[in-house]
Amino acid sequence: MIPPLFLEPEPEDYVLDLCAAPGSKTTQIAQLMKNKGALIANDVSLKRISSLGFNLQICGVINTAVIMFDGRKLPLIIKDQFDKVLVDAPCSSSGHLISKYPSSFKEKGIKSLHFLQRDLLLAGFKMLKPSGILVYSTCSIHPLENEAVVDYLLSKEEKARVEYLEIKGIHFHSGLTEYKEKVFHPDLKYCTRIYPHDNFTDAFFIARIRKER
């Protein structure tokens, strides 16, 4: 539940949750917005959207519209519209597996997830207003799903800037600026890595990105 805190949604904001289902972060964003403003909750899966709609209903959320779309293609119809965008991307869940079942984690499929994640992040950024804030997050600890994805965005969008943000009471580590033979953009150090031993939780990665004017 940390990524919405990095997003800092306000009651007057126009917000997009690009990969919203089943809705735990969507309902949290709606609460932070005091059920005001406008929140668009998108997901590509009809089955998952059913869970999303149910969770919004039982939580009494009234400021949210649910849509079903391939998030990678949304910029074809929406650009430069949102004050805040959350891209809580599909991932390998290695942050959960490492903390609970370390021997079960396998790297198979991470490369294909990397390409999906970077396309979703780029799409989310294109839909952000100038001066808007995007938060990219995963429950993975693998650099290919995290720093490498944000590094790709920085190489494609000259107006993208990674911002440092510290949430009181949360222990964390800085993002990586290199991994194996790969050297990342130096601003990747402003990303947030949370390991299981930091707060006795699963592991997470969060990047807060601003679109400059």
Cα gap 32→16, rounded to integer Å? 14
Choose, from 19, 59, 91, 139, the residue flagged as catalytic.
139
Whether 4 contacts 196, CB under 8 Å:
no
Quote the pLDDT of residue 66: 97
Quote the pLDDT of residue 94: 80
Helix (H) or strand (E) holding 64: strand 64-68
CA-wise closest residue to 41 among 86, 75, 4: 86
Cα gap 18→31, rounded to integer Å? 17
Q: Token digits for 120? A: 């979703």
Asked about 139 being catalytic, the answer comes back as yes
Contacts of 106-112 spanning 24+ positions with Cβ under 8 A: 107/142, 110/142, 110/144, 110/145, 111/144
Within its chain, how far is the Cα of 151 from the centroid?
Answer: 15
Instruction: List pLDDT tens digits, range 27-59.
Output: 999 999 999 999 999 999 998 999 999 999 999
Quote the pLDDT of residue 212: 97
Instruction: List pLDDT tens digits, range 184-213.
Output: 999 999 999 999 888 888 889 999 999 999
Quote the pLDDT of residue 96: 66
* Domains contained in the chain, number: 1
Domain that holds residue 31: 3-210
Q: Which residues of the chain have pLDDT under 50?
A: none
CATH classification of the domain holding 93: 3.40.50.150
Whether 24 contacts 55, CB under 8 Å:
yes
Count CB atoms within 10 A of the CB of residue 44.
17
